Amino acid sequence: MPDSRAIVILTGAGISAESGLETFRSADGLWANHRIEDVCTPEALARDAALVHRFYDLRREALATVVPNAAHDALARLERAWAGDVLIVTQNVDDLHERAGSRTIIHMHGELNSALCAACDRREPWSGSLPPGAVCPSCGAPRLRPDIVFFGEIPYQMERIEEALAGASLFASIGTSGAVYPAAGFVRMARSMGVETLELNLEPSAGSGWFDDCRHGPASLLVPRWVDELLAQP
Ligand code: APR
């Protein structure tokens, strides 16, 4: 049964764009300058670990140069002030939601500030460079890799995400192109369970037609306004 107040929020690279982090599919985005098959597949890691590790080292380093924007801040404010649960399901691997103060976050595509042991599957907080062959502090194997869900791998916590969607009264999608599944299918899953759906994005996305309401513009303007609107409700 939907909780009359639970909100599930999916975020994508667009929510971090105004903080200065590149998106993936814009004209000058990450996938315009790097081939996915070179840096974001298990085969790439097996073929050229140094290139893959370096790609994520550079993105991890970039985190130190950016700060959350008004959209991240507004979602943290919503979580603090809203009467029901607020869950952020982010496709982003940056830590800007955490740094804005959000607490209930699922990084379904992994995190830059984490390392995954390919031998024992443990995940370790990680900052700084992560060279190939780095030793796992849990099992001692030289098998640490970036904790990024590559194309062809299974996103994290899918069961928990689907349960949250089933129990929500509102699903909002912010700053994502709707190009990659399973995240791109959440709106249809929500609709099929009678959950209200809203898209906040710079421009219409691949999934816009599935949303009850679509608002287009920069997240740093749209998201604070939306949060103000929600919190003004009786
Ligand atoms: N405000 C709101 N939306 C924005 C802004 C902004 N300032 N800038 C860009 N956008 C929107 C774009 O219009 C686009 O729809 O953000 C979206 C970014 O789309 P992508 O670059 O495809 O990023 P994302 O949707 O997060 O990609 C999903 O694909 O490659 C994989 O794992 C990667 O998590 C990523 C997934």
Nearest CA to ligand 1 atom 31: 180
The pairs formed by 135-140 with CB atoms below 8 angstroms and a separation of 24 or more are none
What does the pLDDT read at residue 2?
A: 56
Please determine, looking at this structure, whether the domain spanning 30-65+112-148 carries the CATH number 3.30.1600.10. yes
**Do 53 and 116 touch, CB atoms closer than 8 A?**
no
Task: Just give the CATH number of 1-21+68-109+155-234.
Answer: 3.40.50.1220
Which residues line ligand 1 at a C-beta cut-off of 6 Å? 12-14, 17-18, 23-26, 29, 91, 109, 175-177, 179-180, 201-203, 205, 218-219
The H or E element containing residue 161 is helix 158-166
Query: Can 109 be counted among the known catalytic residues?
Result: yes
Locate the domains of the chain by residue range.
Answer: 1-21+68-109+155-234, 30-65+112-148
The tokens describing 184, both together, are 């791109």
Which residue's C-alpha comes closest to atom 17 of ligand 1?
Answer: 176
Per-residue confidence in pLDDT tens, the chain, 234 aa:
455 799 999 999 999 999 999 999 998 899 988 999 999 999 999 999 999 999 999 999 999 999 999 999 999 999 999 999 999 999 999 999 999 999 999 999 999 999 999 999 999 999 999 999 999 999 999 999 999 999 999 999 999 999 999 999 999 999 999 999 999 999 999 999 999 999 999 999 999 999 999 999 999 999 999 999 999 998
* Substitution candidate for ligand 1 out of 31, 111, 176 with most atoms within 8 A of CB: 176
Given this model, what pLDDT does residue 119 score?
98
Which residue has the least CA distance to atom 14 on ligand 1?
177
**CB within 8 Å of 114: residues ≥ 6 apart:** 123, 124, 125, 126, 147
Separation of 89 CA from ligand 1 center, angstroms? 14
| Per-residue model confidence (pLDDT) at position 4 | 72
For residues 217 and 106, give the distance between their C-alpha atoms in angstroms, rounded to a whole number: 25
Residues 80 and 107: beta-carbon distance below 8 Å: no
pLDDT at position 3: 59
For residue 99, give both structure tokens: 């740094």
Collapsing DSSP to helix, strand or coil, 226 comes out as: helix
Centroid of ligand 1 to alpha carbon of 26 (angstroms): 8
| Contact in structure between 221 and 73 (CB atoms under 8 Å) | no
Q: How far apart are CA 108 and CA 74, in angstroms?
A: 21
